[in-house]
Amino acid sequence: MGSPIRIGAVVYLNARPLTWALDWSPARWLVRYDVPSVCAELLHRGDVDLGLIPSIDYLQRPDYRLVPGIGVCSRGDIATVALYTRKDVRDVRSVALDTSSRTSVALTRVLCAKRYGIDPAFVAHAPDLAAMVEQCDAALLIGDPAFDADHPSLGLRKIDLGAEWTIMTGLPFVYAAWTGRTGALQPGDVEALQRAQREGLAAIDAIAAEYGGGNDGVTRRAARYLRDNVKYSLGPDEAAGLQLFLDYAAELGLGQRRKVEFY
């Protein structure tokens, strides 16, 4: 085996079943953990060979390919990608955006245009829910900050964007997928990533315990989330949902229209 494949991996809990087993093979995988937007930048710059990147970033280069069968997806509630607001969503005129993942930002824009029929101002903001809704009518939070947010104490309604997408389209949503340039992976690498996916899904209890850090309530909530909300298979329905999302995003000027292609 030659040099290890350089990987940019998402640090959030929802990605851990895809990365859990990679940590045990440092001779094959050199893994760096970051928020999704940084993983994408590393891949765009060529600083990693493969990235678990926001799906919207697939549009950045025509030579990108996806690893088949693997994604961070949902069909219905995702729980960790949400808008928070005190207003009816159709009365929202400004949205504070957690920019840690460009896919969630793009999904917010697509839903505003296609589902809610609104054109709010979008304001980048650090993921601080109280400060976000003080500045804007609504706030987008993603990842672990959304998982841990105590929105009822702020009098906020939570709108799950995974559920909203599926209600609108009838399809799953793909938040992130293993992405690299043509030729970056060999068939054996693809098979190893798929094997790591299976091993990670078999280790959900251990992953939840790692996240819970000894807190039984947090551990149980994490295990339910990983089993019930996040889906890790990128099959035909997921590919169709991804293609529709990318088409909508391109229509809104968020990238060049292109077909989803796999290794």
pLDDT given for residue 101 in this prediction: 75
pLDDT given for residue 19 in this prediction: 96
Q: How many whole angstroms separate alpha carbon 254 and alpha carbon 241?
A: 17
pLDDT given for residue 157 in this prediction: 95
Average pLDDT, integer, range 170-190:
96
Confidence of residue 145 (pLDDT cuts 50, 70, 90): confident
Contacts from 143-147 at CB under 8 Å and sequence distance 24+? 143/12, 143/13, 143/14, 143/35, 143/36, 143/80, 143/98, 143/100, 143/101, 144/12, 144/13, 144/80, 145/98, 146/79, 146/80, 146/81, 146/82, 146/98, 147/13, 147/79, 147/80, 147/225
Report DSSP state, residue 262.
B
Domains 5-73+173-251 and 81-169 share a fold: yes
What predicted TM-score, i.e. pTM, was given to this entire model?
Answer: 0.92
Pairing of strands 50-54, 5-10: parallel
pLDDT given for residue 92 in this prediction: 97
Mean pLDDT score of the chain: 95
Contact yes or no for 218/212 (Cβ under 8 A): yes
Average pLDDT, integer, range 8-24:
94
Contact yes or no for 223/7 (Cβ under 8 A): no
Share of the chain above pLDDT 90, in %: 90
Average pLDDT, integer, range 149-176:
96
pLDDT given for residue 62 in this prediction: 94
Q: How many whole angstroms separate alpha carbon 10 and alpha carbon 65?
A: 18
Query: Residue type for 226, please?
Result: L
Topology, domain 5-73+173-251: D-Maltodextrin-Binding Protein; domain 2 (3.40.190)
pLDDT tens for 213-255 read: 999 999 999 999 999 999 999 999 999 999 999 999 999 999 9
Is 81-169 assigned to CATH 2.60.120.10?
A: no
Give 158: exposed, middle or buried? Use CB within 10 Å, 0-12, 13-18, 19+. Answer: middle
pLDDT given for residue 1 in this prediction: 55
Structure tokens at 12: 């959030």
Average pLDDT, integer, range 116-129:
95
pLDDT tens for 57-104 read: 999 999 999 999 999 999 999 998 999 999 999 999 999 998 877 899
**In the chain, where are the structural domains located?**
5-73+173-251, 81-169
